[in-house]
Chains A and B, each alone.
Chain A
Amino acid sequence: MSVTTHCTDYETLLHALADGELDAGHVRDVDAHVAGCADCAAKLKAIRALREAMAGSSLKEAAPAHLRSRIEALFPAPAPLVAPAAAKEGPISRWWRSFLGGFSVGAALSAAVAAMLVIGIFGPDPNQQVADEVVSAHIRSLQAGHLMDVETSDQHTVKPWFNGKLDVAPPVIDLTAQGFTLLGGRLDYIDGEPVASVIYQRRKHVINLFVAQRLGAARASIMSKTVQGYNVRHWTEQGLDFWAVSDLAGDELDEFVQKISASLRPTGSS
């Protein structure tokens, strides 16, 4: 029967359909076949039932607390292995290492002091630090339920929402017509300071635009960075620091920044 050979062709496609892995063209094709084939309709139903059963059961396990602390202990904000002064002299350096190796409380304390010294003397590039923080905030925001505090595509809802929560009024610009959908806003904390995040989306890519009065070193021109695979843009305009973070391609994020920046400028001036 030609129907049978036909159906084997659809076998994996039924799974792909249930898994949401088909493109629109194939979806139409498979839907049409399923509509006319009781066998395949039943198979599809069975696949979906199994998926549902697996999703509903608690197959996913939470890591036990002791494992979590074990893993967290692998990378605490680590103390430098070699103290700055000791680095120059071999014996002292060795002494330091054995001291740290012993993991006594004293060693940990000394290491912490050393770490503070290191940071104090060789302070890292403030913009690198902020770039790391905004990327972390971006990643956090992508985890379930963290993206938005106020969810709306209406800029006149988002903007007043920030009132009283921040000492600045972040500009909220609707760029939907230009391909960047306004999703909403969120209050975030960077470096312990409250920061506005205005959230946009292009296709499946979320853009967090962080805005604050002072966030990193001011930049008249746009600074581009890539942190952990995320594109980051930073610039200062009208007394506000802007940080845009997204997994969007660099040139598209640039386009976004241009559009935001252009709409910030009062009409008539350039």
Chain B
Amino acid sequence: MTGEANVEQERARRFRDAALPYLDDVYTLARYLMRNPADAEDAVQECYLRALRHFDSYRGPAMKPWLLTILKNVCYAEFARRGKQEVPTDFSDAEPAAADPVWQEPQATPESAMLRRQDDATIRRLVDALPAPFRDTIVLREINDLSYQEIAEVAGVPVGTVMSRLARARAMLRAAWNSSNGAAAPVQMAAQAAPQGTSRSVSS
């Protein structure tokens, strides 16, 4: 009995050292998935409880994607419980990327200048507005800083799907940005435009 308690104590300490450094990451993802802070906090707590319970079976490779996977499962289970329509089916993965018109705006928009003016709240709002699989992918990539392979593990999809979701997520973000900002920005765009459709032959 006492040995057990001791082992338990050791285990809790090791878990704490390994898992606590990722609290901000877990919380951030929870905020995007759950939308409201109280739900996010409950999800984070449930995530850490489950992770501690399963810590014995944890064999790596990395703690962060492992925790984020648990968090995602907690959140999605909660959606299912509430019967909310938060978990869309993978409707848009099937759409061929080529059919997507988002890259067709004029090419030489001075992107960086334009995007730099964008305040955090706007980016945040645009990310929030993405359909779930795309939002999750871009958050895991840009905010949680996971590799493609790690995102694939968290999302439970092949790396190829991660790549196409990421491309679509960015395209949607850009389209959303352009339309939300339609009137203001694109005026100065012709400035440094390379002629459309040029096939300048630089050595390849």
- Name A's B-contacting residues (CB within 8 A): 3, 8, 11-12, 15-16, 19, 21, 32-33, 35-39, 42-43, 45-47, 49-64, 67-68, 70-72, 74-78, 80-82, 84, 87, 115, 118-119, 121-122, 124, 128, 132, 135-136, 139-140, 143, 227-229
The one of B18, B61, B118, B200 in contact with A53, judged by C-beta atoms closer than 8 angstroms, is B118
Can you spell out 18 A-B residue pairs with CB atoms less than 8 angstroms apart? Answer: A12-B164, A15-B163, A19-B148, A46-B111, A49-B112, A52-B112, A56-B116, A59-B28, A61-B31, A74-B48, A75-B13, A75-B15, A78-B9, A118-B2, A124-B10, A132-B13, A136-B18, A229-B59
Interface of A is mostly: helix
- Cα–Cα distance between A182 and B170 once the two chains are bound (Å): 40
Q: Is the CB of A61 within 8 A of B204?
A: no
- Name B's A-contacting residues (CB within 8 A): 1-3, 5-6, 8-10, 12-18, 20-21, 23-28, 31, 37, 41, 44-45, 48-49, 52, 58-61, 97-98, 103, 107-109, 111-112, 114-116, 118-120, 123-124, 127, 138-139, 141-143, 147-148, 163-164, 166-167, 170, 173-174, 194-195, 197-204
- Cα–Cα distance between A119 and B14 once the two chains are bound (Å): 17
Closest CB pairs A-B (n = 10): A80-B5, A229-B60, A49-B111, A53-B115, A63-B27, A75-B12, A42-B107, A57-B120, A87-B1, A136-B17
Within the complex, what minimum Cβ distance (angstroms) separates B135 from chain A? 12
Q: Please name the residue on chain B nearest to A39 by beta carbon.
A: B107
Residues of A contacting B9 in the complex (Cβ-Cβ under 8 angstroms): 77-78, 80, 115
- Cα–Cα distance between A32 and B203 once the two chains are bound (Å): 8
- Cα–Cα distance between A12 and B137 once the two chains are bound (Å): 14
- Cα–Cα distance between A68 and B27 once the two chains are bound (Å): 10
Residues of A contacting B24 in the complex (Cβ-Cβ under 8 angstroms): 60-63
Q: Contacts A58-B120, A71-B23, A71-B45 hold; do A36 and B10 have CB atoms under 8 A apart?
A: no
Within the complex, what minimum Cβ distance (angstroms) separates B41 from chain A? 5
Q: Is the CB of A67 within 8 A of B41?
A: yes
Q: Is the CB of B108 within 8 A of A84?
A: no
Interface of B is mostly: helix
Residues of A contacting B6 in the complex (Cβ-Cβ under 8 angstroms): 80, 118-119, 122, 124
Within the complex, what minimum Cβ distance (angstroms) separates A231 from chain B? 11
Residues of A contacting B58 in the complex (Cβ-Cβ under 8 angstroms): 228-229
Given contacts A53-B116, A118-B5, A132-B17, 13 further A-B contacts (CB under 8 A): A11-B97, A38-B194, A38-B195, A42-B194, A43-B103, A45-B111, A50-B174, A52-B112, A54-B143, A59-B123, A60-B24, A60-B25, A87-B1
Q: Contacts A36-B200, A50-B174, A53-B123 hold; do A82 and B5 have CB atoms under 8 A apart?
A: yes
- Cα–Cα distance between A122 and B147 once the two chains are bound (Å): 43
- Cα–Cα distance between A139 and B123 once the two chains are bound (Å): 33
Residues of B contacting A11 in the complex (Cβ-Cβ under 8 angstroms): 97, 167
- Cα–Cα distance between A79 and B185 once the two chains are bound (Å): 61
Q: Please name the residue on chain A nearest to B1 by beta carbon.
A: A87
Q: Is the CB of B97 within 8 A of A42?
A: no
Q: Is the CB of A12 within 8 A of B163?
A: yes
Among B1, B18, B112: residue with most chain A CB under 10 A: B1
- Cα–Cα distance between A8 and B201 once the two chains are bound (Å): 19
Q: Is the CB of A54 within 8 A of B204?
A: no
- Cα–Cα distance between A158 and B23 once the two chains are bound (Å): 34
Q: Contacts A57-B124, A59-B142, A80-B6 hold; do A143 and B21 have CB atoms under 8 A apart?
A: yes
Q: Is the CB of B41 within 8 A of A70?
A: yes
- Cα–Cα distance between A176 and B127 once the two chains are bound (Å): 45
- Cα–Cα distance between A97 and B153 once the two chains are bound (Å): 40
Q: Contacts A49-B112, A59-B123 hold; do A35 and B15 have CB atoms under 8 A apart?
A: no
The one of B21, B31, B148 in contact with A16, judged by C-beta atoms closer than 8 angstroms, is B148
- Cα–Cα distance between A135 and B35 once the two chains are bound (Å): 36
Within the complex, what minimum Cβ distance (angstroms) separates A68 from chain B? 6
Residues of A contacting B120 in the complex (Cβ-Cβ under 8 angstroms): 57-59
Q: Please name the residue on chain A nearest to B120 by beta carbon.
A: A57
Q: Is the CB of B44 within 8 A of A71?
A: yes
Residues of B contacting A135 in the complex (Cβ-Cβ under 8 angstroms): 14, 17
The one of B26, B112, B141, B200 in contact with A38, judged by C-beta atoms closer than 8 angstroms, is B200
